[in-house]
Every structure is written in C-alpha cells, then in structure tokens.
C-alpha cells in the first residue's frame, strides 16, 4: 500500500517564506548596487580575471611593457565604467585593461639612460640697463643623447590610403593624391613626397601609453618647400618609447550630440580635422592644420581631454549680395587663423571652416574644432605661433578656459573658452593680460612647446628663437627654456634661456650633407614636453630637425636648476633687457655654429671655399706648369740658338 505524500511545508507556508525572502534579497541587491556599486565591481572583477592580460606596473622595475605582449591588442582604460555605452566594440581579439599607476610614465628605461651635463645660459627679468652678464645665470642640466623616432613612411602611407578609401572624412582629399600613392611606394620615393615632423605627445594615464601627433606634409612635386597638404598623424608609444602598431584604445568620447560614450579607436591613424581645401587651387596654398600645440586638459566630465591649438587656412563669407533676383553673389575671405580642436570630441560637417555647410559633409564626422577669435578685434589675414597652457588651480571638474601667450615680447596673454561658448561658432578670447607695449613688431622669440605647470602659478616650457641673416643660411631656429610666473592677474616671463643646442646635429634643409645653404633655414625646433616628473626631476622633450624628423631626449635637474635661481618677482611691471640679451645670445650661437661648420667643411660656405681653393690650386698648378714649360722651351730655344751660333762661328773660323 502506497503512503500518501505529506509536504514538509504547506503551500501557504511557502508563500509566506517567499513573501519575506524576495523583498529581503531585492533590498540586498539594491544596497550592493547603489551603495557599493556592486554590479560594476562584479563586472570589473570578472573582466579583469578573464582578460588576456592585466597590466600591473609596479614601478619598481619588473613591469613588462605593453609592446612586448601582442602585436595587436585593445586596451580598456583602468577607470572603465560599463554603465556608459560602448558604441563600437574592439576588433582586436586580445583584450586588456590597464591598471598601472600614474608613475608609469617615468620608466626605468628613462632613469637608466646615460646623462651628461649641458649648460643653459639663463637670463632673468630683473630690472637692468647694464650689460647682459648682470642678469645671466649659467646652470647645468643633465641630458641624454637624442633618439630619432621612427617615421615608418610606408606604414603611414598605407594607413592614409586606407582612410582615403574608407573614411568619409578623408575621401574628399583623394584628388590631391591623384591615385599616385602606389606608384610613389613602388618607386621608393616616399621621402621625396612625405615629410613627418613636429611630433608632440601627451601621456594617457588611463591607458598607459604616449599619444603622439605628428605633422605630415605631402608635396605633389616632391618639393619640400611646395607642399599642398598638411595632415595630423596620431600614433602610440609605450612608456619605453617603443612604437605600438595596430592598437585599439577604448576611449571616452563626446559625440556630436554632446553625449559621453565609449568608442574603440585604432592607432595609428590620421586625425579627421576639418579644414577648407580646393584641389583645383594649390599654388601658394597650404591646406590643413599647421604648427600644432598639444596639451592635456580635463573636459566637462572630468576625463583627460587632449586639446590641440593650431593654425589653418580657411574660408569665411564676407558679403552676400542678393539684390539681383536672378542670382545671389557670395564674396569669400580667406585667412590663416588659429583654431582649438578636441581629439576626443566630434562634430558633423565643417561649416566652421568652409564658410557654409556643404551638404556632402552633412553626415560626415570630424573632430570638433572652433576658431579662436580675439574679442573686439577684426579677423587678420594671418595668426600663428600661439602658446597654450591651463591653470589646474582653476579646475573644478574640467578646464573652462585655456590661456594662450599671444606675444612674448611685451607679453600678451589671452583667455579663451573651452566650454560655455558666448558664440557657438567660435571660442571667444579675451585679452587677459597686456604688458607695457614698447614695439608693434613681433619679436624673434616665438612659440615652441605648450607650457606645463611647474608649481602653483608657475609654468615651464621651451620657445624658439628665429634669427635671420646671422651667418648661417637665411635663418636659424634654436630652443629656449622659460619660466612663466603669475601673481594675481599679472604675468611675467621670469626666466628665459639663450639658445640651446642639446648637442643635436642639424643637417641641411634640402641637401642633408650641406648646412647653412643659401637662404635655407637651419632648424632645431622644440615641439612638446612629453613627460615631466617633478618628484624625481625628469623631463622628456620632443624636437624636430630641419622640418623632417622627430627626435626625443630626456633631461634631469630642471627643478634643481630653477630652485638655484635667486631672482624673485614681486608682481611689479619692470622694464628689462631680457629679450634683447636672449636675441644677442642667439646671434652669437649662430655665428659660432657657422664658424664651426666652416672649419669642419660641411657648410655651403666651406664647400664653396673648398671649391674655390681647389679652383685656385688647379689654376696655380696650371700656371706653374705653363711657366715651367715656357722656361723649358725658352731654355731649349736658347740652347739651340747658342748651338747654332757656335756652329756658325766655327764655320766662319774655318773659312
């Protein structure tokens, strides 16, 4: 006989238990989610433990660099938030999340380089009407030998061809290349048509990589002085400055709707900066961004935001005449103006660079840019060489403004909008500080790198002195170190160095083996401060040689050098000879450089002298040979005449 089933709990009891347990479980889940961010932490734990690689830079020395793991990976930021939408999944199969510290930027590779002392001649801004040596300080900074960064023009050209074919932001540029890029590659003429230089970088702390932007010039005719396009090329390096190819970064971006989302961006790539261009009109025109300054800001969401300041040729409407019913006549003005651009923010179309919205670009995504307009000042035909910096002390969440040194002699500083724009079509700049004006002429000391914070209300950077007709070609460019200081709303160029060579050889502009040629430039130009670690007092600097190559060097002792300088500015506006002393130093450096290369024989003057000496030697040899031959002929003639005379005399004597 089968016993009947007797349940342990009655149906009513089960319902009663569930009625109690379910609300309790829901309450626990809600507490985990909202108080401890539980869902996100569980996701992060799962993500990290299932990643192909979990970076952990211990800073002490056993960290293996990203470049040693995989040829192609996708890197998520260490502060990745899965609540924010990811609009494009990475295509690379190897997925990692960076978890290194901010100190990763100063690697053992940099510490362990060989450093040698290099002297800076530094001039203070204290009041003096005497000799320059009264305000001069000689200080040593330890520097490494320079390293030339790889240009990899073949990779660069292949990336460009891919974007010309597949990236809507670049397709319209195809006419500049006329389908000739494969031929240029086959002929081995990439260096004749492409010039990659002006590399400047920022450190992406959330990804553990250097993001470098380089300017790439393209010349249809293979003439360095006659380019048609200037483009920006973005690539990645690890903390040991090893190049990273085919890497994807999952980045927080702000789309054209001003929404914060994640996107997977592959590097290297050309940056889709909008600019006006016309492939039918190329004579005397350079299209695209030039003289880019690169700095790291914080955006409105508190994310690191790489920002560029650059000049670009553009078109704007000056006048529209619609009085005639049959036609509307539009008059355009063309300018080379300054712009601000955001690398992780985007816009649709390029109305702000072309003067009107072309429908073919309506749905094309470009990087967000805005023209920098000085309030109360008409747009001028050319603006260039602006030096940007931000003040972290003013930062609440993000940077609302960027400061820009508009002019170094008779110091002028602008304050330009990065958010909350008065005019949505531009970034309005106010003349924030203006020194006592002594000249209307822009001096030879001009923009170089961005400025970076040294300490509160102090910034450091490198300018460039542009000296003409000093004995070496048409002009010479060399770096100058600076310290800019602020007291309340006043600024002072407290210290500025003379020309610095960094022991970097500067080769010829056209002919690699001939320097100081004709009216050519002899150029060593500072581009950007790639790294500064104040605690351990290391700084990395990128420079360009002859507008053709990117070089990198590291230095140690900048902080110690500054702390050894004893002039303290009290906030007063004072006249001084600082700029003039720096210019005088630049001329002397140029003359010494020209004399040295005349001595070793690789300057144009030395080669002309050698050719002239050779010509004179040959002429002298010819003259001496002709003289010897003449003397020989005269001697032979005399001897012959003598013999003939003696013979004749003998005949006469016989008779």
CB-CB neighbours of 142 under 10 Å: 19
CA–CA distance, 235 with 625 (Å, rounded to integer): 64
More confident residue, 473 or 479: 479
Q: Evaluate if residue 49 carries a pLDDT over 70.
A: no
Quick one: pLDDT band at residue 614, thresholds 50, 70, 90? confident
Q: Evaluate if residue 43 carries a pLDDT over 50.
A: no
pLDDT-wise least confident of 54-68, 80-94, 178-192: 54-68
Q: What is the pLDDT of residue 573?
A: 81
Strands (E) in 115-219, as ranges, are 116-124, 136-143, 147-148, 194-204, 209-218
**Beta pairing, strands 194-204 & 53-54:** unpaired
pLDDT average, residue stretch 228-241:
97
CA–CA distance, 9 with 79 (Å, rounded to integer): 49
Cis status of the peptide bond prior to 237, with omega within 30 of 0 = no
| Main-chain phi, psi angles of 612, to 5 degrees | -65, -40
Q: What is the pLDDT of residue 180?
A: 97
pLDDT average, residue stretch 407-429:
95
Cβ-proximal residues to 528 (8 Å cutoff; 6+ apart), any chain: 199, 200, 201, 293, 294, 449, 450, 541, 542
Q: Determine contact, residues 422/265, Cβ cutoff 8 Å.
A: no
More confident residue, 501 or 332: 501
The string of DSSP letters for 464-517 reads EEEEESSSSSSEEEEEEEEEEEEETTEEEEEEEE----TT-----SSSTT-BS-
Q: Evaluate if residue 570 carries a pLDDT over 90.
A: no
CA–CA distance, 542 with 531 (Å, rounded to integer): 10
Q: What is the pLDDT of residue 393?
A: 94
Q: Evaluate if residue 56 carries a pLDDT over 60.
A: no
Q: Evaluate if residue 599 carries a pLDDT over 60.
A: yes
| Stretch (H or E) spanning 326 | none
CB-CB neighbours of 17 under 10 Å: 10
Quick one: pLDDT band at residue 357, thresholds 50, 70, 90? confident
Q: What is the pLDDT of residue 374?
A: 97
Quick one: pLDDT band at residue 58, thresholds 50, 70, 90? very low
More confident residue, 530 or 471: 530
More confident residue, 557 or 57: 557
Q: What is the pLDDT of residue 211?
A: 98
Tell me the pLDDT of the chain averaged across its residues.
88
Q: What is the pLDDT of residue 59?
A: 35
Quick one: pLDDT band at residue 67, thresholds 50, 70, 90? low
Q: What is the pLDDT of residue 576?
A: 84
Q: What is the pLDDT of residue 60?
A: 34
Q: Evaluate if residue 128 carries a pLDDT over 80.
A: no
Q: Evaluate if residue 328 carries a pLDDT over 70.
A: no
pLDDT average, residue stretch 423-433:
95
Q: What is the pLDDT of residue 517?
A: 92
pLDDT average, residue stretch 583-592:
95
Q: Evaluate if residue 297 carries a pLDDT over 60.
A: yes
Q: What is the pLDDT of residue 62?
A: 36
Quick one: pLDDT band at residue 562, thresholds 50, 70, 90? very high
Q: Evaluate if residue 14 carries a pLDDT over 90.
A: no
Q: What angle do CA 496, 498, 504 make, to 5 degrees?
A: 120
Nearest to 543 by CA among 471, 588, 470, 481: 481
pLDDT average, residue stretch 352-369:
93
| Cα 377 off chain centre by | 28
| Main-chain phi, psi angles of 475, to 5 degrees | -160, 160
In the chain, the percentage of residues whose pLDDT exceeds 70 is 88
**How distant, in Å, are the alpha carbons of 15, 17, 18, 31, 32 from that of 22?**
10, 8, 6, 14, 15
Domains of the chain, residue spans: 16-104, 105-145+450-608
pLDDT average, residue stretch 490-497:
95
Quick one: pLDDT band at residue 28, thresholds 50, 70, 90? confident
Q: What is the pLDDT of residue 65?
A: 64
Q: What is the pLDDT of residue 420?
A: 94
Q: Evaluate if residue 35 carries a pLDDT over 70.
A: no
pLDDT-wise least confident of 39-53, 140-154, 184-198, 279-293: 39-53
Q: What is the pLDDT of residue 611?
A: 84
Cβ-proximal residues to 195 (8 Å cutoff; 6+ apart), any chain: 216, 217, 219, 224, 227, 547, 548
Nearest to 351 by CA among 317, 307, 309, 306: 317
Q: What is the pLDDT of residue 170?
A: 98
Q: Evaluate if residue 469 carries a pLDDT over 50.
A: yes
More confident residue, 569 or 584: 584
Q: Evaluate if residue 654 carries a pLDDT over 80.
A: no
Q: What is the pLDDT of residue 46?
A: 35
Task: Name the β-bridge partners of 650.
Answer: none
Listed in sequence order, the DSSP H helices in 35-112 are 38-49, 108-111
Q: What is the pLDDT of residue 215?
A: 98
CA–CA distance, 386 with 308 (Å, rounded to integer): 11
pLDDT-wise least confident of 19-23, 134-138, 166-170: 19-23
Quick one: pLDDT band at residue 358, thresholds 50, 70, 90? confident
């Amino acid at each position: 006989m089968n016993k009947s089933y007797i349940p342990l709990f009655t149906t009513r009891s089960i319902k009663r238990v569930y009625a109690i347990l379910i609300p309790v479980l829901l309450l626990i889940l809600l507490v985990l989610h909202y108080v401890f961010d539980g869902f996100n932490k569980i996701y992060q734990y799962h993500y990290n433990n299932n990643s192909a690689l979990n970076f952990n830079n211990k800073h002490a020395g056993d960290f293996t660099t990203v470049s040693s793991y995989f040829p192609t990976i996708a890197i998520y930021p260490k502060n990745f938030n899965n609540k924010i939408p990811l609009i494009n999944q990475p295509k690379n199969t190897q997925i990692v999340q960076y978890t290194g510290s901010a100190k990763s930027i100063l690697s053992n590779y940099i510490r362990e380089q060989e450093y040698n002392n290099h002297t800076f001649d530094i001039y203070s801004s204290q009041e003096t009407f005497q000799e320059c040596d009264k305000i001069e300080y000689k200080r040593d900074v330890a520097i490494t030998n320079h390293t030339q960064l790889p240009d990899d023009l073949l990779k660069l050209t292949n990336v460009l061809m891919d974007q010309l074919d597949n990236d809507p932001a670049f397709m319209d540029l195809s006419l500049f290349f006329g389908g000739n890029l494969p031929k240029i590659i086959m002929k081995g003429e990439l260096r004749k048509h492409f010039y990659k230089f002006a590399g400047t970088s920022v450190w992406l702390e959330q990804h553990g990589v250097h993001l470098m932007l380089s300017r790439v010039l393209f010349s249809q005719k293979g003439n360095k002085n006659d380019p048609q396009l200037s483009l920006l090329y973005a690539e990645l390096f690890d903390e040991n400055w090893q190049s990273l190819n085919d890497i994807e970064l999952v980045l927080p971006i702000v789309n054209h709707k001003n929404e914060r989302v994640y996107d997977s961006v592959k590097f290297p790539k050309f940056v889709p900066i909008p600019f006006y261009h016309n492939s039918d009109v190329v004579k005397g025109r350079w299209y695209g961004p030039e003289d880019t300054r690169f700095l790291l800001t914080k955006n409105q969401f508190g994310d690191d935001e790489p920002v560029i300041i650059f000049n670009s040729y553009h078109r704007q409407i000056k006048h529209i005449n619609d009085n005639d019913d049959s036609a509307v006549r539009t008059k355009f003005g063309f300018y080379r103006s300054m712009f601000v651009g955001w690398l992780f923010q985007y816009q649709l179309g390029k109305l702000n660079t072309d003067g009107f919205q072309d429908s073919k670009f309506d749905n094309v995504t470009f990087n967000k840019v805005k023209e920098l307009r000085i309030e109360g000042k008409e747009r001028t035909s050319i603006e260039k060489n602006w030096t940007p910096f931000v003040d972290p002390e003013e930062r609440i969440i993000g940077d609302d403004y960027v400061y820009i040194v508009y002019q170094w002699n008779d110091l002028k500083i602008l304050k330009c909008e990065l958010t909350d724009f008065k005019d949505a079509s531009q970034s309005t700049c106010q003349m924030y500080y203006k020194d006592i004006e002594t000249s209307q002429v822009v001096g030879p000391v001009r923009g170089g790198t961005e400025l970076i914070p040294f300490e509160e209300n102090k910034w450091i950077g490198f300018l460039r002195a542009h000296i003409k007709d000093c004995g070496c070609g048409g002009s010479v460019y060399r770096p100058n170190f600076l310290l800019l200081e602020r007291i309340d709303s006043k600024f002072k160029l407290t210290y500025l160095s003379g020309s610095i060579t960094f022991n970097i050889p500067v080769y010829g502009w056209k002919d690699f083996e001939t320097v100081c040629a004709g009216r050519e430039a002899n150029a060593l130009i500072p581009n950007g401060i790639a790294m500064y670690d104040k605690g351990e007092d290391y700084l990395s600097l990128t420079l360009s040689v002859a507008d053709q190559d990117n070089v990198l060097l590291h230095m140690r002792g900048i902080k110690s050098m500054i702390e050894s300088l004893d002039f303290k500015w009290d906030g007063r506006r004072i006249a001084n000879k600082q700029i003039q002393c720096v210019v005088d130093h630049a001329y002397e450096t140029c003359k010494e450089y020209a004399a040295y290369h005349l001595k070793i024989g690789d300057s144009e003057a030395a080669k002309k002298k050698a050719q002239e000496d050779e010509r004179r030697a040959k002429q002298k040899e010819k003259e001496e040979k002709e003289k010897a031959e003449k003397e020989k002929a005269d001697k032979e003639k005399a001897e012959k005449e003598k013999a003939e005379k003696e013979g004749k005399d003998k005949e006469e004597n016989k008779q």
